[in-house]
Copies of this chain bind each other. A is one copy, B any other.
């Protein structure tokens, strides 16, 4: 199984959207580098979009660059004039397909994994905030109330806390904390997911994106959260009661 070198998560709440991505890219043990996996597209008062990416970096970068470049041509349908988030998701899927068509055959010949995913979220004037997950094949799904978040990359370690804490009514502040705990769990278990963390917080109906943070190695708040979470978990664990099962074999469970 291919190791996963990225962790991105986005939450859709009544209060808005929260996005976070790590910055570690690894093309083999001797090539570890840091690349931003978050791109933002903002036209204040009209639209505010965030794209997170995981998987093959050349494919995701090329697809987003294609999307960005088309945005300079107002005669085309593009990210700046698309009527809806649904249409932007379609455009991004098309860019992904175009890059795969251009590069895919050559990469597969060299046995390079062409897997790539996007999370696309934001709001366009006239719509509520929306959140999409775009697959490597260019098709996509939208987050609903029952599943108010998407993760891509190394998703499993950081999922339990989101499952337990996040629902539509969660505040943006709680959501940011939850995302950081989720990153803490992921980075603790997978060293190829690494700092810095890019974090963006979108307030519903603001149509701007004024809260972006870059959390670097040694960030005091992150370290504080991480330590308190760790100590808190140990405390809860220590408080769990001992079992009192009868012993099905013949001897008491823990003979004194």
Q: Which residues of A come within 8 Å of B, CB atoms?
A: 1, 156-157, 159-161, 163-165, 172-173, 176-178, 181, 185, 188-189, 210-214, 221, 224-225, 228-230, 232-237, 239-245, 247-251, 253-254
Contacts and interface: CB of A to CB of B under 8 A. Distances in A.
A170 to B, nearest CB: 11
Contact of A173 (B212, B230, B242): B242
Contacts of A240: 177, 181, 225, 228-229
Main DSSP-derived SS at the A contact region: helix
Nearest to A254: B173
Contacts of A236: 228-229, 232-233, 235-236
Nearest to A213: B245
A249 B159 contact: no
Nearest to A253: B211
A156 to B, nearest CB: 4
